[in-house]
Amino acid sequence: MTDAGTENEGPELHVLASLRRRVLRGSSWVMFARIASILLGTSINAMLARLMTKDEVGVYFTSFTLVIVGTVIAQLGLDRAVVRLVAVSLGVGLPGRARETIRRCLSIGTVAAVGVGAVLTFALGPTIVHHLYHSRALAYVVPITGGWLVAAAIQSLFVETLRGLQRFDKATIFDALIVDVLTATVLGALFALGVRIGVGTAAGISAGMTMVAVIGGGMALRTRYRDIHGEGHLERGAILDMAWPSLITNVAIYLLGSGVDLLVLAAFRPQDQVALYGSATRLVTLVATPLWILRGVMPPIIAELHAQGRRRELEHTLRAGATLASLPSLALLIVFMLFGRGIMSTVYRPTYADGATVLAILSFGRLFAVWSGACGITLIMTGHQKEMMYITVCTGLTSVGLGILAAHQFGGVGVATATMSMALVQNALQLLLVKRYVGVWTFAELSPRALFRFFSKKGIAELAEQLSKAEGPRKRSDAELAAEVQADGDQVFRSSPDEADL
């Protein structure tokens, strides 16, 4: 005879155990690729610093940043839209809707990528290079930068589509891993042979390796796409409603992050100082790596749990992930603050040691972002992309304005301080809005008990018992969810009373 307590614990225990398996399985792939990319990326930057002059390295970083910002614009916010719509459609049993989402997003995204690449190559690129940066070397690589942008934009759409399908292994491989492996191999061979290269050759190698990733990712996605069949159709305007706020948010994120800040510095300071700043930002990615691992796994899980009304499970998953991510990030920040000059000199060359101050400042901002958890992703994946857009645009524009004011007099340190300060403001506001609209916290817990409760079998059993006794939102049936999504794709995310009050 089964007692009532066991009956109550069963469903919650099953859900939490399933979440743990999915997070750990997805995280293992993302973690493996991220660690490999860290080692490879550090090696690539170290070899570039030895294969080119400091001015050429600065030009390369400027070109790379133009590719990143251009890629964000070319995606039109479709990268976020495809993850959310595909994950939710499959989660509520509407594979036809997922298939149509993929087809439309890839079609629109490819056309947009080619268009933005052409604008950069033939119109905008030459103009800003001659009138803003005054660099002949940068003007020389603009056509290569345009082609690199097209490949990077299409690659990112393929990767995010695979992520929405929860194929974390293939998404991870074709995101950065294969590009880093191939690029490191080519540069390593040139370094071993003692060959010096120019910035055009370096940019061409990066663009070519990105195209290889596009071909491989497209083949992997084509195989999975053929297997998606079933009922469901995509509502008119569903992609646009999700995409345009995400586009503005993504652009604003680069106004706030280590993207546009480098371009601002390049407009006021020589390229050798840009090289110092860019080299420091590459090492800062080590601090943010745990957060990127979390963000690589969580988006489809957040969308699915929120659509199913499982708020408590969502909060425990988010906070456990943030706690796990914060520990290595804190350790790296301490190392960078104490041994920054030695690290910069060792990884690059002794002439790069002056970038240690920028490294420490930006690392502190990234640590706070890691501690905050996946708050921005949670807003986007639960239908609050407009609120996310408002926060990011305001803080991003303020960051750029402060950076411009600081760049002329204080150089890279001033730009880094402006960027870090507004990043703190942005993450704090995101945390508060997630609590208000979604009803959960995403920040890391100071106690290791959070990790025990989520990542151990005994902890899951204890948490399931607590959840079964607590009064939570009514769990909607699959039929209700499917009907709700089919009627209005955006309404399925409105399970929060606070959101309805808007």
137-170 tens-digit pLDDT: 888 899 999 999 999 999 999 998 888 887 877 8
The 8-class DSSP code of residue 355 comes to G
The 8-class DSSP code of residue 131 comes to I
**What's the distance, CA 335 to chain centroid?**
24
What is the sign, positive or negative, of the torsion defined by CA atoms of 62, 132, 156, 313? positive
Higher per-residue confidence, 218 vs 17:
218
Say if CB 58 and CB 138 are below 8 A apart: no
- pLDDT of 115 higher than 90: yes
Residue range 196-230, pLDDT digits in tens: 999 999 999 999 999 999 999 999 888 888 888 87
- pLDDT of 64 higher than 60: yes
Q: Where are the alpha helices (DSSP H) in 258-384?
A: 260-268, 271-307, 311-347, 356-372, 375-381
Higher per-residue confidence, 502 vs 314:
314
pLDDT of residue 124: 83
Distance CA 410, CA 404 (A): 10
Q: Token pair for residue 355?
A: 């970038």
- CB burial of 226-264 (b: ≥16 within 10 Å; e: otherwise) equals eebeeebebbeebbebbbbbbbbbbbbbbbbbbbbbbbb
Phi, psi of 132 (to 5 degrees): -115, -50
- pLDDT of 374 higher than 80: yes
Which one, of 324, 310, 381, 449, lies nearest residue 14 by Cα?
Answer: 310
pLDDT of residue 286: 81
Residue range 28-49, pLDDT digits in tens: 656 677 778 778 888 898 999 9
Asked which of 74-88, 235-249, 403-417 is least confident by mean pLDDT, the reply is 235-249
Range with top average pLDDT, 18-22, 56-60, 256-260: 56-60
Q: Is the pTM of this model over 0.85?
A: no
Distance CA 151, CA 266 (A): 25
pLDDT of residue 489: 37
Say if CB 66 and CB 120 are below 8 A apart: yes
pLDDT of residue 31: 66
Asked which of 71-85, 114-128, 245-259, 411-425 is least confident by mean pLDDT, the reply is 245-259
pLDDT of residue 466: 41
Which amino acid makes up residue 107?
Answer: S
What mean pLDDT is predicted for residues 436-451? 78
Say if CB 200 and CB 140 are below 8 A apart: yes
Higher per-residue confidence, 238 vs 406:
406
The share of the chain scoring above pLDDT 90, in percent, equals 25
Residue range 453-498, pLDDT digits in tens: 555 555 444 444 443 443 344 444 444 444 444 433 333 333 332 3
CA atoms within 13 A on the CB side of 295: 19
What mean pLDDT is predicted for residues 243-270? 76
Q: Token pair for residue 64?
A: 């790379």
What mean pLDDT is predicted for residues 73-82? 87
Which one, of 379, 356, 375, 464, lies nearest residue 424 by Cα?
Answer: 375
Distance CA 372, CA 91 (A): 27
pLDDT of residue 21: 53
Residue range 294-303, pLDDT digits in tens: 666 677 778 7
- pLDDT bin (cut points 50, 70, 90) of residue 266 is confident
Which amino acid makes up residue 464?
Answer: A
Ranges of each domain in the chain: 9-487
Say if CB 408 and CB 435 are below 8 A apart: no
**What's the distance, CA 496 to chain centroid?**
26
Which one, of 286, 279, 374, lies nearest residue 333 by Cα?
Answer: 286
* Virtual torsion, Cα 490, 396, 55, 189, nearest 10 deg: -30
Place of tokens 């001015």: 55
Residue range 304-363, pLDDT digits in tens: 788 778 888 888 888 887 887 888 888 888 898 889 999 999 989 898 999 999 999 998
The 8-class DSSP code of residue 251 comes to H
Mean pLDDT of the chain: 79
Distance CA 464, CA 147 (A): 51
* Virtual torsion, Cα 227, 380, 327, 358, nearest 10 deg: 120
Would you tell me how many other CB atoms lie within 10 Å of the CB of residue 291?
Answer: 23
Distance CA 12, CA 125 (A): 55
Which amino acid makes up residue 379?
Answer: L
Distance CA 483, CA 491 (A): 11
pLDDT of residue 261: 85
pLDDT of residue 431: 92
What mean pLDDT is predicted for residues 52-70? 90
Which amino acid makes up residue 202?
Answer: A
